[in-house]
Amino acid sequence: MKKLKQNFSGVTAEYLVAAELSKRGFIASMTIKNMPGIDIVVTDKTASKVFGIQVKAKQDLAQKKSWTLGKNDETRVSDNLFYVFVDLAVKKNRESGFYIFPSREVAQRIKKYHIKWLKNPKHNDNNIRTFILNDGEEPHNWHILGI
């Protein structure tokens, strides 16, 4: 697959996540871009389960298992908010990878990694945060959403 421009990679990932949720029987509505922190609002058919999804995409094979976030993601925490990290770096005959995490875990991990990163005297504080998969974390862990 040809590498997408950055703004297209985010939109592509959002549509892929919405499609995966729809395949699992959920109603997945993409938000308009004036809703910071939630890309997709999800509900079941009876509206008894409602949650938000923040989608983060990457397509660079060199990034391995990391995604770029912002400082505000350290405080964007809710029991009904989840992050789906999408690996668009598709090799031949391989599907995109989806990694699902509760917002609380994402916030804790990026904050911890940033503190560690700042210990290097060459690094200055900034608004960029990095989410890195731990060894053994597998894609398609949709069960995190209770589905």
> Could you report the per-residue pLDDT of 91-122, keeping only the tens digit for each?
655 667 899 999 999 999 999 999 999 999 99
Tell me the CATH number at 96.
Answer: 3.40.1350.10
Q: Is residue 113 part of a domain?
A: yes
Q: Is residue 66 part of a domain?
A: yes
Residue 8: CB atoms within 10 Å: 13
Q: Is residue 117 part of a domain?
A: yes
Q: Is residue 1 part of a domain?
A: no
Q: Is residue 90 part of a domain?
A: yes
Residues 58-63, mean pLDDT to the nearest whole number:
74
Structural domain range at position 121: 6-145
Q: Are 40 and 31 in contact (CB under 8 A)?
A: yes
Nearest to 138 by CA among 65, 81, 61, 63: 65
User: What is residue 87's three-state secondary structure?
Assistant: strand
Residues 17-31, mean pLDDT to the nearest whole number:
95
Integer CA distances (angstroms), 114 to 55, 98, 135, in order: 20, 23, 19
Domain count across the chain: 1
Q: Cα separation of 113 and 120, whole Å?
A: 12
